[in-house]
Amino acid sequence: MTTQLQLIIIIIIVIIIIIIIIIIGEGRGVHRVLVGKPEGKRPLGRPRRGWEDNIKMDLQEVGGSCVDWMELAQDRDRWRALVGTVMNPRVP
């Protein structure tokens, strides 16, 4: 592709985006996402741990770190056995 053709394609894409923004209107959320700037500040420190991270950490403690936990959760019997193992503190 030549440089002129790439420039023409970029200009066309920009024009299409501008037309979409005009059609959408300023009151809609999409307009704020495309044009607006984020307000406020990001929180300091590391990101909070989510529930998926907790599940992965529990699987690592039990020794099932190589298992895809989403696939495992779809098999009720295997998931129930795993949860029973995690919840029972007397199992070595």
Taking only the tens place, the pLDDT of each residue in 47-63 is 888 888 887 787 777 77
Query: Within a domain: residue 26?
Result: yes
Taking only the tens place, the pLDDT of each residue in 66-87 is 667 778 778 888 888 877 777 7
Query: Within a domain: residue 42?
Result: no
Residue 51: both structure tokens together: 């529930």
Residue 63 three-state SS: coil
Query: Within a domain: residue 41?
Result: no
Range of the domain at 12: 3-35
The residue type of 38 is: P
Q: What kind and span of H or E run contains 32?
A: helix 29-35
Whether residues 79 and 55 fall in one domain: yes
Query: Within a domain: residue 92?
Result: no
Whether residues 82 and 55 fall in one domain: yes
| Closest listed residue to residue 34, CA positions, set 49, 20, 48, 45 | 20
Query: Within a domain: residue 44?
Result: no
Contact 59, 65 (CB under 8 A): yes
Contact 30, 24 (CB under 8 A): yes
Instruction: With cut-offs at 50, 70 and 90, classify the pLDDT of residue 24.
Output: low
Give the number of domains in the chain: 2
